[in-house]
Amino acid sequence: MDAALGYARRGIAVMPLHTPVNGGCSCSAEHCDNPGKHPRLRHGVHEASRDPVQVRRWWKRWPQANIGLRTGEVMDVCDVDGPLGLKALRDLLGDLPTGPVVRTGAGWHLWFQPSGFGNRVGMLAQVDWRGAGGSIIAPPSLHPTGRRYHWARYSRGYLPPCPAPLLELLRPPPPREPREIIDPGPYAERAVERAVRSILDAPVPKVVAGQYQPGGRNDALNRAAYSLGKLAAQGYLDERRIWTDLTTAARQAGLSDTEIRRTIASGLRAGLGV
């Protein structure tokens, strides 16, 4: 609770996440695919708060909750998954900036000033970006490996600006084929909202009377990718936007990045008819 309040005091919106328990997850799903890394709140990062009263209430209820922080406002975070990612970053940037660094389970979180861009998965090998609309897990949260997220370097509030080569990678690329994007209009916007909502509202896996029920998040994601893919095929939506919005929603719903990538790719392919 102290740590969560500390982040909130610095203007960072905080949310309680599930916690790894005995090789599983506090969400009580028998086969949680993202132990200790998904929100305890139904609408995830949208409900994150800087209000100390709210933060206290959450951590009173779940004292062991891992801490999720909303990115894109006070800071963006470069999420490096392992040594390959670190090498890719060094190859791109030369020396790494001297901002705050968190040691995660197998990698590092490099904190930066907000880039103004949203999330980007796989911007380099083993490197993701958490920006506007995204979230990260913060110290002293518990990793499923039993290690705690901790500060490898703490820089007293100084955040380096996002280096130009990274900004270049974050800038949304033009669509793969030069397709004319028709004014999306309220119809396409509503379709995106509906798709996102269906993913957030899909039932999570659980065990009822000793029976494992797989939940419906993957199905919902697949259907969403398919229906938005059809709109993209007609020029109503940009593929990049679909990837961003659906990835964000699916992460909040607690799906793993591998599963998300695979499901969106196949749903989108089917919707686009390619």
CB atoms within 10 A of CB 184: 17
Instruction: List strand residue ranges (DSSP E) for the chain, in order.
Output: 14-17, 20-21, 24-25, 66-70, 76-80, 101-103, 108-112, 120-124, 127-130, 135-138, 150-153, 206-208, 211-213
Nearer to Zn ion, 32 or 253 (CB): 32
Q: How many helices (H) and strands (E) does the chain have?
A: 8, 13
3-state secondary structure (DSSP) of residue 34: coil
**Residue 32 touches Zn ion, criterion: CB under 5 A:** yes
**Residue 143 touches Zn ion, criterion: CB under 5 A:** no
The region of 22-30, 158-166, 170-178, 265-273 touching Zn ion under the rule CB under 5 A is 22-30
Nearer to Zn ion, 124 or 255 (CB): 255
The region of 24-32, 107-115, 146-154, 163-171 touching Zn ion under the rule CB under 5 A is 24-32
Q: Beta strand 211-213 with 101-103: parallel, antiparallel or unpaired?
A: unpaired
Minimum CB separation from Zn ion for residue 36, in Å? 7
The closest of 4, 24, 6 to 14, measured between CA atoms, is 4
Minimum CB separation from Zn ion for residue 201, in Å? 17
**Residue 204 touches Zn ion, criterion: CB under 5 A:** no
Q: Give residues 53-72 in contact with Zn ion (rule: CB under 5 A).
A: none
The region of 32-40, 79-87, 183-191, 223-231 touching Zn ion under the rule CB under 5 A is 32-40
- d(CA 26, CA 19) in angstroms, rounded, equals 5
3-state secondary structure (DSSP) of residue 123: strand
Write the interaction track for Zn ion spanning residues 167-196; mark x where CB under 5 A is met and - where it is not.
Answer: ------------------------------
Compute the half-sphere exposure of residue 207: CA atoms within 13 Å on the CB side of its CA. 10
**Residue 18 touches Zn ion, criterion: CB under 5 A:** yes
**Residue 264 touches Zn ion, criterion: CB under 5 A:** no
Q: Which of 4, 8, 12, 27 binds Zn ion (CB under 5 A)?
A: 27
Nearer to Zn ion, 18 or 217 (CB): 18
Minimum CB separation from Zn ion for residue 28, in Å? 8
- d(CA 57, CA 222) in angstroms, rounded, equals 35
CB 202 within 8 A of CB 220: yes
Number of residues that bind Zn ion (CB under 5 A): 4
- The contact set with Zn ion (CB under 5 A) reads 18, 25, 27, 32
